[in-house]
Structure 1
Amino acid sequence: MENRRKGTGMALLVNIGHNGWYRDTELAAELRALMPEADIRTLDAPGDMSEITMLAVSGLAPNLPAQLPNLALVQKLGAGVETIVAHPALPPHVQVTRLKPLEPAREIAQYCLTYVLMGQRNVAAHAESQARAAWESLEPKQNHKTRVGVLGMGHIGGETARLMRDLGFEVHGWSRSPKDMEGVTCHHGAETLEPMLGICDYICAILPSTEETRRLINAQTLAAMKPGATFINAGRGDLVDEAALIADLDRGHLGHAVLDVLCTEPLPETDPLWSHPRVTITPHVSGWHLGEALADVVENFRRLSAGEDLLHAVDRQRGY
C-alpha cells in the first residue's frame, strides 16, 4: 500500500460492487496513475474508514454507507444511478455524481447498430438457411428506407441517433423534453411516444430508470409498435414489463427483442427469456470501457477536497 497517503483525512475508496467487470485493485491502480498524490484505497486494505470521503462504485453494497461516517460523495462508475439514489442506507446529505464518458456511449451506440445491421442484412435468416444447407437469396434492406427510433436523447441516446443518421437511416428520437438534432426527427412528451413507435422498424431504448420510465414498455406500448419491429434495450432493465414482452412476442407481433439489460441481473437460469426464439440476451456488456471518464473520477475527488462544484452531479429527487 505504498501508493496510499497516510493521515490526509480525505480518501477515495474503490468498491466496484459486482463481478464480471473491472476488479477493484485494477481500477484503483488506473486512478492512482492519473492522480499519484491522492489517497485511493480498496476494501482489502481500507485503513481508517472515517477518513473516506468519496466512494467510487458501480453497485453500492447494502451495508457499506454505515461503515463510512464521513462519506460525502458517491461516484457512480457509469450513467445509471437509480439504485444509488434509492439506497435506503445512504444519508440524504451525501452527494451522488455519475459519468458521461464518450467511449462507452460510442460502444452502446455500436451495440445498437450491430443488431440493426443484422436485421438489415438478414443475418439470422441466412444462418437458418445454412443450417439446412439451403442456398436462399434474400434482398437486404436499404438504410434510407428504414426508420430507427431512439428512446432517450441524452448523452448516450444522442450518440446513437447521430451514428444511425450518419449511416443513412431515417432516425426518430423521443424524449420527455424538447430536443433538437440536425437530421433527426425529434419527438417529446407522452402523447408522441406511441405514434413514433408505430412507424419505426427498430426501437433502441436508452432511457434512465425513473418513476416515469419504469415499465414504459408495457402491453400498451408494445402493441403500438410496428408489426415485425425489433426492440433493442441498452438502457435499464426496469423499462420493460418482461411478461408483457414475452406475450407480445408469443403472439407474433414484434419480430425480435435484443436485451442487454434485464429486471433481474444476472438473469436466473430458469427465466423463459433465455430460451425464447425471438429474444437475444447479452449480459449487460453494451458499454464497457470507461476511457477518458476516469479523469472525471479523480477530478471530482479533487473538487470535493477543494469544496468546488462537482462534475455531473445528480439530483437525488429526480433520479438523474
Structure 2
Amino acid sequence: MTERYWLTKEKQLKGTGMALLVNIGHDGWYKDDELAQELRRQMPEADIRTLDAPGDLADITMLAVSALAADLPAKLPNLALVQKLGAGVETIIAHPAIAPEVQVARLKPLEPAREIAQYCLAYVLHAQRNIAAHAESQTRAAWEPLAPKQNHKTRVGVLGLGHIGSQTALLMRDLGFDVLGWSRSAKEIPGVTCHHGSATLKPMLGQCDYVCAILPSTAQTRALINAESLAAIKPGATLINAGRGDLVDEAALIAALDRGTPGHAVLDVLCSEPLPASDPLWQHPKVTITPHVSGWHLGDALGDVTENFRRLGAKEPLLHLVDRQRGY
C-alpha cells in the first residue's frame, strides 16, 4: 500500500471531520468498547467513537448500531448512514427519527449465516436422533432403544432463500435431507426443490417434517405463520424460527401446538424480546426457547463496516444498502 494511498485515506477519514459512532443499543451481545476496539484494529486511521466519549456529535456521519435508541438520531445532525449490526433492519427503517436522506445498510456476513444454519441443524438432529426421548429414559434408568430417523427419508423446508436461508438449505442438502425451499420470488439452488409465491406455501408446509423460518420482517412476511398456515403444517412437524419474531402469530402458534400442528416449536426470536416471564410460551411443553443466539459472531462482516465507512467518506457506492420502501 503506497504512502499516497494512506494520505488520501487519512484525508477521507479524518480531514473532513467525519466519525463513526458505535452504539449496540442493548445488552447480551457485543459491548460498544469491544466492537469499537476491533474496528480500530482494522482501520487505525479512522475516528471511531462510543457514547462514553462521543466528542462533538456533529462529526458523526455513520452510526453502527443493533438497536437504535429513540432519541439518538436527533442528536446527530450530519448522520448520513446507519449501519445495522446483526440481522434484520425492520426497526431501523421504521424509526421515526431517521431523516429520509439517511441511508441504511445491512450486513451479509458468512459466519453468522453459517451459525444460524447450524442452529437449525442442531434442532433437526435433536429430533432425528431422539435425544429428548433418550434423556427422559435415563431419568427412569430405562434401557429403551429407539431407531433414529433417516435423513434421506426426512423432508426439511426452508422459508426464505436469501443469504442465510440458502446457507441453511445447502447444509441440510449436504447431509442428505430432502430439502424444499420457499421464497417470495423465484430462486434456484442446486439440489433443493424451490417454490415461490403465496399459492405454494401451504402445500409445501404440508410436506415437511421440519420447517425452518428464516425470513426478514416485511409487510408481506409479518404473521406469515398464522392460524391458516399453521393448520397446513404436517401433523407432528417441528417449526424452527430463526428469522424474525413477528413472522409468527404467537397466540395462533399456541393453539396450533395444542392441536399437534406443528408438534413442536423451536423459537430463537420472539415478538417481544426479552420474552416476559409471564408469557405462556415459557411454560408450554411443546416449545423450546433460546434467547436470540442462533447467529452470534460478526466475523468477516466487520470488514464491511469499515469498508462502508471508507466508501462514505470517498462518496463511493455503499455495500448492502437497504431499500427502505421494500424493507430489506
> Do residues 30 (structure 1) and 38 (structure 2) align?
yes
> What SS does the corresponding residue of 1:297 show, helix, strand or coil?
helix
Superimposed CA distance per residue, residues 168-191 of structure 1 (whole angstroms, 9 cap, x where no aligned partner): 000000000000011000000000
Match of 1:318 in 2: 326
Residue 269 (1) aligns with residue 290 (2): no
Q: Deviations over 1:76-133 (max 9, x none)?
A: 0123100000001111110000000000000000000000000100111111111122
Q: Any conservation in 1 of the 2:14–2:46 contact (CA below 8 Å)?
A: no
Question: 2-side partners of 1:17 and 1:201: how far apart?
Answer: 37
> Which residue number in structure 2 is paired with residue 184 of structure 1?
192
Deviation at 1:253, TM superposition (A): 2.7
| Alpha-carbon shift at residue 137 of structure 1 (Å) | 1.1
2:258 is the alignment partner of 1:250:
yes
Q: Distance in 2 between matches of 1:190 and 1:91?
A: 33
* Aligned positions of 1:1-320 closer than 5 A: 8-320=16-328
Give the Cα separation in 2 of the matches to 1:76 and 1:6.
23
Matched AA of 1:163: L
Instruction: Show CA shifts across 1:186-238 (max 9, x none).
Output: 00000000000000000000000000000000000000000000000000000
What corresponds to 2:9 in structure 1? none
Q: Following the alignment from structure 1 to structure 2, what is the Cα–Cα distance between the partners of residues 230 and 265?
A: 22
How far apart are the structure 1 equivalents of 2:144 and 2:251?
Answer: 35
Report the Cα offset of residue 55 of structure 1.
0.0
Give the aligned length.
316
2:71 and 2:15 map into 1 onto residues whose CA distance is 25
Moved over 2 A (4+): 5-8
* 2: CA distance, partners of 1:198 / 1:131: 34
Aligned partners of 1:20, 1:116: CA distance in 2, in Å? 26
Q: Which amino acid in structure 2 is aligned with residue 126 of structure 1?
A: H
Indicate conservation of the 8 Å contact 2:213/2:243, yes or no.
Answer: yes
SS at match of 2:283: coil
| Structure 1 range deviating more: 200-209 or 127-136 | 127-136
Identity %: 80
Amino acid across the alignment from 1:112:
C
How far apart are the structure 1 equivalents of 2:317 and 2:261?
A: 49
Q: Hey, what's the Cα distance between the residues in 2 that align with 1:201 and 1:123?
A: 17
Secondary structure at the aligned position of 1:273 is classed as helix
1:40-76: per-residue Cα shift (whole Å, max 9, x none)? 0000000000000000000111000000000000000
AA aligned to 1:195 is P
Q: Give 5+ residue unaligned stretches, structure 2.
A: 1-12
TM-score, scaled relative to structure 1: 0.98
Letter in 1 for 2:308: N
Rounded Cα–Cα distance in structure 2 between residues aligned with 1:211 and 1:6 = 40
Structure 2 length as normaliser, TM-score? 0.95
Distance between the aligned counterparts of 2:277 and 2:256, measured in 1? 22
Question: What do you get for the CA RMSD once the two structures are aligned?
Answer: 0.9
Shift of 1:254: 1.6
For 1:314 and 1:194, the matched residues in 2 are separated by 29
| Alpha-carbon displacement from aligned partner over 1:228-250 (angstroms, at most 9, x marks no partner) | 00000000000000000000111
Distance, in Å, in 2 between the alignment partners of 1:237 and 1:252 is 21
The one-letter code matched in structure 1 to 2:253 is L
